[in-house]
Structure 1
Amino acid sequence: MRRQPHLRELMDGPDCDPDALRRTYAGFGILNPVVSGWGATYRRLLRPLLSASVPRTLLDVGSGGGDLARRLARLARRDGLLLEVTGVDPDARAHAYASAHPAPGVRFVRATAAQLDERFDFVVSNHVLHHLSDVPGFLVETSRLARVMTVHSDISRSRFASVAFGAATAPFFPGPACGGSFIRPDGLVSIRRSFTPAELRELAGPDWRVIALNPTRLLAVSTGRG
């Protein structure tokens, strides 16, 4: 399939149903651990670089409802490792939801990555790249903030991803017209907006390693600057 960046997700609309939006943020906490692959990414890339005696810092860019920020902090705490997580998102609705669901070792800031004047050991994002009109600029900006590693995780666009997501979510995530969330309709749009590994490699350039995790996921990884 051709990429379709002109499509827009319902939850990005300023006048979208606030109840459906809250259900969407809550649903991400259920869906993302199943489909996003962050458990394996944490074990393979982040956990070996964390310490039980030296605190590390992590920035989650475009943190939305905060499910990934809370999960990474929880995983590190479970393993006896010191990790302070900051979730940053410019959307007031996302920030309000995330702030209303605090977790130990996590703080939420309403801002963009470009507005931050501090650096972190790790910078990560989940399902952000496909929203962007300037992916190379975002990669430069986020890697500038990372001392150790930057990891961006997103959907790998394919017909299989679209069919599998549509079929798997239909019984569990009804649309907003049925009193549900934006997860299924927006997820299908997200797949159409996403990149293939080859497309992302071309955009990212030689400083980034683009890894196809499976038919539906990819990572863009860069080592830090200090």
Structure 2
Amino acid sequence: MRKRDATAVELMDLPDCDARRLDNTYRQFGVVNRVLGGWRRLYRRELRPLLAVQPVRVLDIGSGGGDLAVMLARWARRDGLSLSITGIDPDPRAASFAQKRPPVQGVEFRQAHSADEVVAGRTYDVVISNHVLHHLPAEELRTLLAHSEVLAGTKVLHNDLRRSPAAFTLFGMAALPFRGSYIRVDGLTSIRRSYTPAELSALAPPGWTVERSAAFHQVLTYRQG
């Protein structure tokens, strides 16, 4: 835990991983992200104040199975607010799973990379990601941040794991009920691959700040202006 294990590979990222276990992983992410990800707090603190003023367009980079986009859209609708959210993921398996979800008003999914959005000249009010940063080596992380600055008109929220021995131990116990998926084994690998606040701060260019999120999470944040 003292050093980031940048060479560790998550099983679900392997092209020949078990398709059934992969689908189960996408399904179970909904529970994991709702309970552990800290997005309810981020929605209240960062998104709802914007939504109270005007409709907001959100880009969810690396949206995986799509659970976060759907969750945010439902919270906004429950509050009587207007939010549209586009989830993109370069992995065709993730994009396909998300596109097969029951339709939710204001939510769409596409197979795409953040670079594709930049080239297409698309812009959004807010750019977010969840558990993406730890997948990226330093240069790819900086590229993502550069793309995010171009794509976001107001703010960027990259929510990710914060590496610590306590996070590793507690998640290992908490994830025991998740069977038939890659949640537990890949979750532990993700923690080993994740950055500490100091490591993330050192990599981020000027204008970016690392803020505490939920337990064992951190948000790399950028605010325009």
* C-alpha distance after superposition, 1:152-183 (max 9, x if no partner): 0000000000000001111x113xxxxx0000
* 1:66-145 to 2 correspondences below 5 Å: 66-101=66-101, 102-116=103-117, 117=120, 118-133=122-137, 134-145=140-151
Equivalent-residue separation in structure 2 for 1:214 and 1:106 (angstroms): 25
Equivalent-residue separation in structure 1 for 2:27 and 2:132 (angstroms): 18
Q: Does 1:150 align with 2:151?
A: no
| 8 Å Cα contact 1:8/1:189 also seen in 2 | yes
TM-score with structure 1 setting the length: 0.93
Structure 1 residue runs without a partner (length 5+): 175-179
Q: Letter of the aligned partner of 1:160 in structure 2?
A: A
1:223 is matched with: 223
| 8 Å Cα contact 1:61/1:89 also seen in 2 | yes
Percent identical among aligned pairs is 49
| Distance change in 2, residues 1:154/1:31 (3 Å) | same
TM-score with structure 2 setting the length: 0.94
Q: Letter of the aligned partner of 2:39 in structure 1?
A: W
Equivalent-residue separation in structure 2 for 1:68 and 1:111 (angstroms): 17
1:31 is matched with: 32
2:165 is matched with: 159
Given candidates 168, 171, 175, the residue that maps to 1:169 is: 175
Indicate the larger mover: 205-214 or 107-116. 205-214
Which secondary structure does the structure 2 equivalent of 1:221 belong to? strand
* C-alpha distance after superposition, 1:84-127 (max 9, x if no partner): 10000011110111011032210001100110120000000000
Q: Letter of the aligned partner of 1:223 in structure 2?
A: R
Q: Considering only aligned residues, what root-mean-square deviation do their CA atoms show, in Å?
A: 1.2
Once the two structures are TM-superposed, the CA of residue 56 in structure 1 deviates from its matched residue by: 1.4
Equivalent-residue separation in structure 1 for 2:214 and 2:48 (angstroms): 21
Which secondary structure does the structure 2 equivalent of 1:152 belong to? strand
Equivalent-residue separation in structure 1 for 2:81 and 2:215 (angstroms): 32
Equivalent-residue separation in structure 1 for 2:76 and 2:214 (angstroms): 25
1:177 is matched with: none
Once the two structures are TM-superposed, the CA of residue 194 in structure 1 deviates from its matched residue by: 0.2
Q: Letter of the aligned partner of 1:196 in structure 2?
A: T
Runs of 4+ in 1 over 6 A off after TM superposition: none
| 8 Å Cα contact 2:167/2:191 also seen in 1 | yes
Structure 2 residue runs without a partner (length 5+): none
For these two proteins, the number of residue pairs brought into alignment is: 218
* C-alpha distance after superposition, 1:19-49 (max 9, x if no partner): 0000000000111100000000010111111
Q: Letter of the aligned partner of 1:28 in structure 2?
A: F
Equivalent-residue separation in structure 2 for 1:113 and 1:188 (angstroms): 26
Once the two structures are TM-superposed, the CA of residue 61 in structure 1 deviates from its matched residue by: 0.2
Equivalent-residue separation in structure 2 for 1:55 and 1:216 (angstroms): 31
